Amino acid sequence: MTLMLVLAVILIALVFEYINGFHDTANSIATVVATKVLSPGQAVLLAAGTNLIGALWGTAVAKTISSGLIDSGIVNVTPQLLICALLAATIWNLITWWWGLPSSSSHALVGGLCGAALAGAHNNWHALIWSQAGAHWWDGKGLWPKVVLPMLTSPLGGFLLGILVMGGLFALISWLGSRSNPWISQFGRPKFVNAFFGKAQILSASAMGLSHGMNDAQKTMGIIALALAGATSAGTLDHLPSFLHFLRVEQSAAKSFEVALWIKLVCALTMAAGTAAGGWRIIKTLGHKLVKLHPINGFAAEASSAAVIIAASSVGMPVSTTHNISAAIMGVGVAKNPNTVKWTIIERMVWAWLLTIPVAGLIAYALVCSMTFLFS
């Protein structure tokens, strides 16, 4: 392992983080733009700021990515493998961005890691940690508890919560509007509802940005920490000048480590910069094509999705921000009027969701095999 390869991993990881920022900008601002509560520029700045705060909030997801999916006792997670995994995820992100499909950057990275590890282990499937029990149900490691199960349950949770929140708000507004007392009934009128939820949606959009930073930014933190921990244990960083000793990441016997503050800051700022660049193709799909949204609908979708993602992030589950906000928008649309939901758009999105992990995995697998052939 050479220092140049380690630095290449860090650079490519930050490129992935930047692309993740503009690819997934739509997750936190599509609805607030579609409802015209904020201008696109205002919404992007809000998302960038809240992404930055969220990225600095905890490291549970980073630890899952760095030590909870690949068995380093079976496959040596080299910089070459990490580079192939990151390139595969980046390629898939760019393809789906060009198509305007809100696919998952999280699952693209997980798929890339699995494909690269499988190629590096010469098709030994035991290189992938499928399931390891922990002290509590949320402490376990592996693809099943941390990726597959959340991939199925978190969008379902966002969908159902979107229906419940939207249905509850409709019932409350209807009840307020039917009161004989004019002071109470005014709170159920469209003018008040639009004005109130226009303000409330700024809070819900902020919560979405925060949750996106908490989950997505941490994945790249985990990759960088993993690369530096491997370089440290291999002795690659032993002879660095003293002012570069901050690059060393010590790994415990349990193959876990703390993510350094500088890694958090660099990843957070990179994602915020990518977010500020915007992702208008995906914003158009989420905010305008799925269902027509009003401020109350946007608030319900954002609040529902943010609640699911923050809960998952707190226990280290790398869930898809994209899947959750999309599912919440669908739930809100169903509660509003199922006939207004564009089901053909949803069908395209679901195919992108299902294909992300296997396609990114295949790309990474092919890249590792090609690299091995070229340099053997």
The pTM (predicted TM-score) of the whole model is: 0.82
Tally of residues, the chain: 376
Question: Taking a C-beta distance cutoff of 8 angstroms, is the pair 277, 179 a contact?
Answer: no
State the alpha helices, DSSP H only, in the chain: 3-23, 25-34, 40-55, 60-67, 79-99, 105-120, 143, 149-177, 182-185, 190-212, 218-234, 261-277, 280-284, 295-314, 321-336, 343-375
Domain that holds residue 201: 3-375
Alpha carbon 212 to its chain's center? 6
Residue 253 has a pLDDT of 53
User: Any idea what DSSP says for residue 142?
Assistant: S
Q: What residue type is assigned to position 44 of the chain?
A: V
Residue 26 has a pLDDT of 61
User: Any idea what DSSP says for residue 239?
Assistant: T
Q: What's the maximum distance between 2 C-alpha atoms anywhere in the chain?
A: 82
Question: Cβ atoms within 10 A of the Cβ of 338, count?
Answer: 11
User: Any idea what DSSP says for residue 70?
Assistant: B
Q: Which tens digit of pLDDT belongs to each residue from 144-153?
A: 888 888 888 8
CA distances from 103 to 45, 88, 99, 122, 147 (A): 22, 14, 10, 29, 15
Say how many CA atoms lie within 13 Å of 247 toward its Cβ: 21
CA distance 88 to 106: 12
Q: What residue type is assigned to position 327 of the chain?
A: A
Question: Taking a C-beta distance cutoff of 8 angstroms, is the pair 335, 170 a contact?
Answer: yes
Residue 74 has a pLDDT of 87
Tell me how many domains the chain contains. 1
Residue ranges of the chain whose pLDDT lies below 70: 1, 24-28, 100, 102, 134-140, 251-257, 278-292, 345, 376
| DSSP-assigned beta bridge partners for residue 132 | 141
